[in-house]
Structure 1
Amino acid sequence: MTLHATFLGTSGAVPTVNRNPSSLFVRREGDAFLFDAGEGTQRQMLKYGTGFGVSDVFVTHVHGDHVLGLPGLVQTMDFNDREERLTIHTSKGTADRIEQLVFAVGGDVGFDVRVSEVSPGEVVLDREEYEVRAFPVAHRTSAVGYVLDEHDRKGRFDREKAEELGVPVGPKFGRLHEGEPVELEDGTVVEPEQVVGEPRPGRKFVYTGDTRPTKATVEAAEGADVLVHDSTFANDAGERAEHTGHSTAGEAGSIARQAGVTRLVLTHVSSRYAGDAGVLKDHATREFTGRVLVAADGMELDVPYPDR
């Protein structure tokens, strides 16, 4: 099953020629989501071919570079005759501001827009195969990060072993894989554990939004396949990062190391690195020896299963 991310906006608060304000598109099989929606997000979606079929927008916090794209996005969806509901999730105490922003111009639209407040630790979206949870972050305002966490998958079905035990090819294979014992013609009962391996882990994708480095992020990102972390500044701007509620690349690398993630993606890149953001990767790799990427607008990332 597909788990694919497209980085629509990777700049800090000030956009640059090559970086739009924050927005991340994630597709999981047939479901599509946005994490934050900075100014011009709908144009980025057109440019990078994601389409507008998102069901949920997960807002980390109500600062302009993370939400000013919402009115335009909603109006574009309306112009495209959208009928399906759009749910915008936002941090506690900010729903009124999001509603006022979305409908500041244009009034009502022809589809249902629901704004839902979320609290740290809450399961925001609960689906059969995965869930999206909010976790606390440390910024200058009410803010959360989000974890897309897949449930364990079924173990591998050993067809050869099943045939050796006399299970006929057909529906009984499926019943065994679903965890149901089956009875053969001679009365023998074959149990699922005889032919199905241990459950296999799903994937874990974590997006922090703007934040200082926190223990809560380490806990939320433990064992993640991908951690997308605020990396606004290089290490020599540590005081500035602390003052503005952001992280340095080195601090993001330290979080990734402590959490034991597989890949770290650095984003929310300050305009001071418009010419070359390579220093951010250099500083992150001093702390984290796994794979480090500096996000760029239009960058696409496939997330494979851990056991591939």
Structure 2
Amino acid sequence: MSLQVTFLGTSGAVPTTDRNPSGLFVRREGDAMLFDAGEGTQRQMMRFGTGFDVRWVFLSHLHGDHVLGIPGLLQTMDFNERSDPLTIFTPQGTGRSIRNLIYAIGPEPSYGVDVVEVGPGETVVDAGAYDVRTFATEHRTRSVGYALVEADRKGRFDRERAEELGVPVGPKFSALHEGEPVELEDGTVIEPNQVVGPPRPGRTVVYTGDTRPVDSVVEAASGADLLIHDATFAESSDERARETGHSTAREAGEVADRADVERLVLTHISSRYAGDTGILKAEAEAAFDGRVLVARDGDDVDVPYSEKR
């Protein structure tokens, strides 16, 4: 079951020639979703070949570098003769602003657009095999982060043990793996727990948007396979980070370490590091003993199942 993250925009508030404003595309099998949509997001989607079959747009907050791509994106979808409805999730109290942004360039799109306000601690999408949940972040405006959390997978089926117990190869194997007991020809009943291991955790991807390093992010990211965290500044600009409601790379590393995540990706990179992001990676790695990536536009990150967890 594939789960892939494509970074459409990784700059801070000021874009650079190499970095677009914020945008994150996630595809889980057939489901496509977008987290934030800075200016030019639709062009980035064309450039990196993500497709436009997005079901949901999740906005972390309403600063321009996270939302100004919405009018162009919706118009492009209209030109492509989209008919499926689109849902845009936005922090509480910001729905009217998003509707105004959508309609600022003309009439309502030919497909349905639903704007839903959300607060921290909600399950905003329940897709059965996974859900998308909100958590509290700390920025200079109303904001939330999002976590894509998969349901547990079935335990491993022990074929060798099943055959030892006399279970014939065929439908009874499937029944046991689905959690149903089976009866053998001699009347013996085999229970699933005799041949199926404990449930295995699914994957978790956490996106903070812009935020200070806060306990609610640590809690939401606990044990996550991938944490995508604001890392706007290096430690030398920690005062500026506090003033503007952002995090330093080291602070992002500390959050990842406390949450015991598998992998940390730094994003929302200030234009002052356009020439070299090495200091950000080094500072995050000093705080987090795990894999660290400073995201660039166009980076694809596959999220595998973790056998360790």
TM-score normalised by length of structure 1: 0.99
CA distance, structure 2, for counterparts of residue 64 and residue 171 of structure 1: 56
**1:244 paired residue number:** 244
Deviations 1:61-86 (A, max 9, x none): 01100000011101111111111111
Residue 267, structure 1, aligned to residue 267, structure 2: yes
CA distance, structure 1, for counterparts of residue 190 and residue 302 of structure 2: 38
Letter in 2 for 1:266: L
**Identity, % of aligned pairs?**
67
Letter in 2 for 1:209: G
Residue 298, structure 1, aligned to residue 298, structure 2: yes
**1:178 paired residue number:** 178
Letter in 1 for 2:73: L
- Deviation of 1:172 after TM superposition, in Å, equals 1.5
**1:132 paired residue number:** 132
CA distance, structure 2, for counterparts of residue 20 and residue 3 of structure 1: 23
CA distance, structure 2, for counterparts of residue 172 and residue 76 of structure 1: 50
CA distance, structure 2, for counterparts of residue 189 and residue 291 of structure 1: 47
Deviations 1:13-64 (A, max 9, x none): 0000000000000111111110000000000000000000110011000110
Q: How does 1:273-288 map to 2 (within 5 A)?
A: 273-288=273-288
CA distance, structure 2, for counterparts of residue 173 and residue 57 of structure 1: 41
CA distance, structure 2, for counterparts of residue 194 and residue 154 of structure 1: 14
CA distance, structure 1, for counterparts of residue 281 and residue 110 of structure 2: 45
- Deviation of 1:289 after TM superposition, in Å, equals 1.4
- Deviation of 1:161 after TM superposition, in Å, equals 1.6
CA distance, structure 2, for counterparts of residue 260 and residue 157 of structure 1: 28
Deviations 1:86-119 (A, max 9, x none): 1000111101111110121121211111111111
Letter in 1 for 2:32: A
Of the structure 1 ranges 181-190 and 59-68, higher mean CA displacement relative to structure 2 is found in: 181-190
- Deviation of 1:6 after TM superposition, in Å, equals 0.4
Letter in 1 for 2:27: R
**1:255 paired residue number:** 255
- Deviation of 1:246 after TM superposition, in Å, equals 0.4
Of the structure 1 ranges 55-64 and 168-177, higher mean CA displacement relative to structure 2 is found in: 168-177
Provide structure 2 residue ranges, at least 5 long, that are not aligned to the other structure: none
Letter in 1 for 2:15: P
Q: How does 1:9-48 map to 2 (within 5 A)?
A: 9-48=9-48
Q: How does 1:1-308 map to 2 (within 5 A)?
A: 1-307=1-307
Moved over 4 A (4+): none
Letter in 2 for 1:149: V
Letter in 2 for 1:195: V
Letter in 2 for 1:289: D
Letter in 2 for 1:214: V
Deviations 1:172-223 (A, max 9, x none): 1111111110111211111000111111111110000000110111111011
Q: How many residues align?
A: 308
CA distance, structure 1, for counterparts of residue 108 and residue 129 of structure 2: 34
| 3-state SS, counterpart of residue 287 of structure 2 | coil
| 3-state SS, counterpart of residue 54 of structure 2 | coil
CA distance, structure 2, for counterparts of residue 109 and residue 285 of structure 1: 45
CA distance, structure 1, for counterparts of residue 95 and residue 119 of structure 2: 12
CA distance, structure 2, for counterparts of residue 99 and residue 170 of structure 1: 55
| 3-state SS, counterpart of residue 4 of structure 1 | strand
CA distance, structure 2, for counterparts of residue 229 and residue 187 of structure 1: 56
Q: State the superposition RMSD in angstroms.
A: 0.9
Letter in 2 for 1:254: E
Letter in 1 for 2:282: D
CA distance, structure 2, for counterparts of residue 289 and residue 165 of structure 1: 44
CA distance, structure 1, for counterparts of residue 84 and residue 170 of structure 2: 39
